[in-house]
Chain A
């Protein structure tokens, strides 16, 4: 009987070790889902983020249908800028490179750095939409009152399904200055006092 108890005890501890290991692995799995999600989004266009294409990889092709591409600029209310596309929409032929510009203006009396985040609607169109040049790849610094043209060069893939005849490229500009750790904490603490 004593022997038996020892075996049971050993087996219990074996299960305990495996259980703990499994839980730790599952925490790792949880974190692994973050890059995995990005990969899935890249492949399926799940969240509407756009792809990037090096200019030399673009081969222009002629396609018989066109797609309307709309441009939209959103400014997060944390950022004292105005930001608009030069033209609202464009009819484009898939497989050809196009160029357009946005205009950003810092309306405040301080220098501010912004970062634009692109998004395409419908999300399923995003995998067929690539940019070869975009201001969203880097942070943008505008001095007080500065106005800046921001160019975008893009191509719609010839593989785009025929039932997508309109897509919107939208940029949201966020205030990068608000992104430092300290300010982030303060920014999220809605109960902290506004010093007035």
Chain B
């Protein structure tokens, strides 16, 4: 695996040389911008696919009674919706943003390991082909929930093998992406860029990458045990053979809890870039932001069993996991307060990226509040596995992670494409999404509190009104994202030329290169102008 810096050597004379032909340009690319684009396009496709599954779910839940699909297919939908959204949409979108932006933000010519970069992307389409192929098999797709708890997951027939190998491939892809990010950040910064000069997006991704390397292998190990339990008569999780199904839950959530931070920390980074730009004011408490991110990452390793309060742990264990979980509110709170302090006494304008970021702060906080409530083990015995948790994690993942990604896309799209998106369409997209997403998820809090369990295809008539409301919100939100695809498409194809600076006063090295960003940037690999960086001088 040799490092492909040769690009730069050839590329010296004619600056923007791109390989000709689809295969050379995309299949064999080692260019961080092209790979970033591939990741983002893939993520968008998966977002639409996962969204379509969500529409099927909301359609069936529109009214009590089974109208459209059978319960078994419903379970396949919920399971695959989660897997596609988590591993197909949110994580690849962040890797795509990392690919595009990290080298541009730290003055690096490319990612550190460009060929591996190509490989880590191109594994993904194969992984998802394998996973989605199960829909066409006897017995259908995995239907045991994305959490894959045995013994239920083992009843899935032969989709178990496909599921496990698909997860393995996604894991390998993520780990390679993470190693690449770490090598790039630690090794490829322009010579005069220190760690504490790095933009927050780079910082959050560095920490995320360490989380990925630490936990994806544990998931790989856990699903491998599921595989051997299924096909080779081992008994890791089989009580009859002396195993313990609860052990899987411990292993899974040892991965699963850091995983939820993997899906939110880069969004924190994006928002921390956007708010200062549109408040025309430096980010408040840069260093404490870095520490808070690291603290959240550390805490994420020691709180996993808060997903399992109902399995019957000893009192001491429950108390410990409750306290540790509550602690996460402190660094998360610091972040939110810092964002508000960044806005305070700024000179704000409200372009589309800023609107998404502001909505992120508010709606993610709502998800954070329900998170604190669920940290309390005694009440979690009520909230657990109801629509309350469904509302909670959609607030942190949709209006958190996805909002962060969309904000980032609007913020950097002019740099990528060289065209300004339509501010009017962007605002319509924002308000349409934000109103509908609340109609979609807010009533789910009430459903959960009233006693509606999650993952059920049909429900008692007392839950009918809120489910209908939620479904209407869901359809509207789904349609809004199709509109988003249109806006992106339109912007890429043409529109008002973007300036190099794009946003007045925006800090960051990415704004020092032309728009659209040329195929090769920072080829000289020398010192950069620290004055152009948000944290080049101050702390």
CB-CB under 8 A for A24 and B217, given A13-B3, A46-B313? yes
- Contact across chains for A37 and B250 when beta carbons are under 8 A apart: yes
Give Cα distance in the complex from A185 to B187, angstroms: 49
Bound state CA distance, A192 and B178, in angstroms?
A: 41
Q: Which residues of B contact A47 (CB under 8 A)?
A: 244, 246-247
Report the count of interface residues on B (CB-CB < 8 A).
56
Of A26-34, A56-64, A96-104, the one contacting chain B is A26-34
Contact B187 A8 (CB under 8 A): yes
Q: A9-B3, A34-B247, A172-B239 are in contact. Are A189 and B221 (CB under 8 A)?
A: no
The answer on a CB contact under 8 Å between A12 and B183 is yes
How far in angstroms is the closest Cβ of chain A from B393?
A: 24
Q: Could you tell me if B222 and A30 are in contact, using CB atoms closer than 8 angstroms? A: yes
Contact yes or no, A26 B217, CB < 8 A: yes
Enumerate B200-246 residues with CB–CB distance to A below 8 Å: 213-222, 225, 230-233, 236, 239-242, 244, 246
In whole angstroms, what is the CA distance A174 to B250 when docked?
Answer: 24
Query: Does B157 touch A at the CB level, under 8 Å?
Result: yes
Please measure, in the bound complex, the distance between the C-alpha atom of A49 and the C-alpha atom of B241, giving whole angstroms.
Answer: 13
Measured between alpha carbons, how far is A183 from B139 in the docked complex, in Å? 18
B480 close to chain A: CB less than 8 A: no
With the chains together, A8 CA to B222 CA distance in Å?
36
CB atoms of A29 and B218 under 8 A apart: yes
Which residue of B2, B225, B239 contacts A117 across the interface (Cβ within 8 Å)? B239
Interface residues of A in 141-178 (CB under 8 A from B): 172, 174-176, 178
Q: Is the CB of B239 within 8 A of A174?
A: yes
Asked if A138 is an interface residue, CB under 8 A from chain B, the answer is no
Known: A47-B246, A115-B240. A11 touches B187 (CB 8 A): yes
Kindly identify, within residues 436 to 453 of chain B, every residue whose CB is under 8 Å from any CB belonging to chain A: none
Q: Which residue of B lies closest to A119 (CB)?
A: B239
CA distance A5 to B232 in the complex (A): 49
Is the C-beta of B407 less than 8 angstroms from some C-beta in chain A? Answer: no
| Residue-wise interface mask of A (39-61) relative to B, using a CB-CB cutoff of 8 A (1 in contact, 0 not) | 00100111111000000000000
Measured CB to CB, the closest approach of chain A to B188, in angstroms, equals 7
- Alpha-carbon separation in the docked complex, A5 to B158 (Å): 49
With a cutoff of 8 Å between Cβ atoms, the chain B residues found around residue A11 in the complex are 183, 186-187
* Least CB distance, B309 to chain A, in whole angstroms: 14
Q: Known: A15-B182, A27-B217, A185-B230. Contact between A192 and B187, CB under 8 A?
A: no
**What residues of chain B lie closer than 8 Å to A5, measured between beta carbons?**
5, 525
Is B251 a contact of A19 with CB atoms below 8 Å?
no
What's the interface size class on A, roughly?
35 or more
A35 to chain B, nearest CB (A): 11
Judge whether B183 and A15 touch: CB under 8 Å. yes
The CA of A47 and the CA of B247, in the complex, are separated in Å by 9
- Tell me if B154 counts as interface (CB < 8 A to partner A): yes
| CB-based contact A23/B217 at 8 Å | yes
A11 to B218, CA, bound (A): 27
Answer yes or no: A76 CB below 8 A from chain B CBs: yes
Complex partner residue of A190 from B116, B157, B240, B250, CB under 8 angstroms: B157
Contact A19 B236 (CB under 8 A): no
Q: What 0/1 pattern do residues 94 to 138 of B give for CB contact below 8 A with A? A: 000000000000000000110010000000000000000000001
Determine whether the beta carbon of A46 is less than 8 Å from that of B314.
yes
Q: Is B21 an interface residue (CB 8 A)?
A: no
Report if B23 contacts A (CB, 8 A). Answer: no
Q: How many angstroms between the C-alpha atoms of A33 and B255 in the bound complex?
A: 12
A12-B113 CB under 8 A given contacts A1-B525, A4-B525, A185-B230 = yes
A residues in contact with B182, CB < 8 Å: 15, 19
Query: Which label, helix, strand, loop or mixed, suits the secondary structure of the A interface?
Result: helix
Please give, as numbers and ranges, the residues of chain A lying within 8 Å of B3 by CB-CB distance.
8-9, 12-13
Contacting residues, chain B, for A123 (C-beta < 8 A): 312-314
Q: Which residues of B contact A26 (CB under 8 A)?
A: 213-218, 221
**Interface presence of A131 (CB below 8 A):** no
Query: B179 in the interface, Cβ–Cβ < 8 Å?
Result: yes
In contact, A179 and B241 (Cβ under 8 angstroms)? yes
Query: Measured between C-beta atoms, what is the minimum distance from B143 to chain A in Å?
Result: 10
Residues of A with C-beta under 8 A to B178? 19
A184 within 8 A of B: yes
Out of A16, A30, A176, which one reaches B1, CB within 8 Å? A16
Chain B residue, CB-CB nearest to A185: B231
Assess whether B10 is interfacial by the CB under 8 Å rule: no
Residue A22 at the chain B interface, CB threshold 8 Å: yes
A43 to chain B, nearest CB (A): 11
The verdict on B254 contacting chain A, using a C-beta distance below 8 Å, is: yes
Within A53-84, the residues touching B (CB, 8 Å) are: 76
Q: Which residues of B contact A1 (CB under 8 A)?
A: 525
Q: Are A15 and B179 in contact (CB under 8 A)?
A: yes
B317 at the interface (CB under 8 A from A): yes
- Residues on B with C-beta less than 8 A from A34 are 225, 236, 247
**Quick one: which of B505-525 are within 8 Å of A by CB?**
525
CA distance A48 to B221 in the complex (A): 25
Q: Are B113 and A16 in contact (CB under 8 A)?
A: yes
In the bound complex, residues from chain A placing their C-beta under 8 Å from that of B213 are 19, 22-23, 26
Chain B, residue nearest A180 (CB): B233
Judged by a CB distance under 8 angstroms, whether A109 is at the interface is: no
Judge whether A110 is part of the interface by a CB distance below 8 angstroms. Answer: no
Partner of B314, one of A37, A124, A181: A124
- Interface digits, B181-192 against A, CB 8 Å rule (1 contact, 0 not)? 011001110000
- List B contacts of A33 (CB < 8 A): 218, 247, 250-251, 254
Instruction: Tell me the B residues contacting A by CB distance below 8 Å.
Output: 1-3, 5, 112-113, 116, 138-139, 154-158, 160, 175, 178-179, 182-183, 186-188, 213-222, 225, 230-233, 236, 239-242, 244, 246-247, 250-251, 254, 312-317, 525
- Pull 18 A–B residue pairs with CB atoms less than 8 Å apart, ordered by A: A9-B2, A11-B183, A11-B187, A16-B113, A19-B179, A33-B254, A37-B244, A41-B244, A46-B313, A46-B314, A117-B239, A123-B312, A123-B314, A179-B233, A181-B233, A184-B230, A185-B230, A191-B157
* Interface positions of A (Cβ within 8 A of B): 1, 4-5, 8-9, 11-13, 15-16, 19-20, 22-31, 33-34, 37, 41, 44-49, 76, 115, 117, 123-124, 172, 174-176, 178-181, 184-185, 188-192
Q: A34-B236, A44-B317, A47-B244 are in contact. List 9 more A-B contacts (CB 8 A).
A: A12-B112, A12-B113, A13-B1, A20-B179, A117-B239, A181-B233, A184-B230, A185-B231, A189-B157
6 nearest A-B pairs in the assembled complex, by CB-CB distance: A30-B221, A19-B179, A191-B139, A174-B240, A26-B217, A181-B233
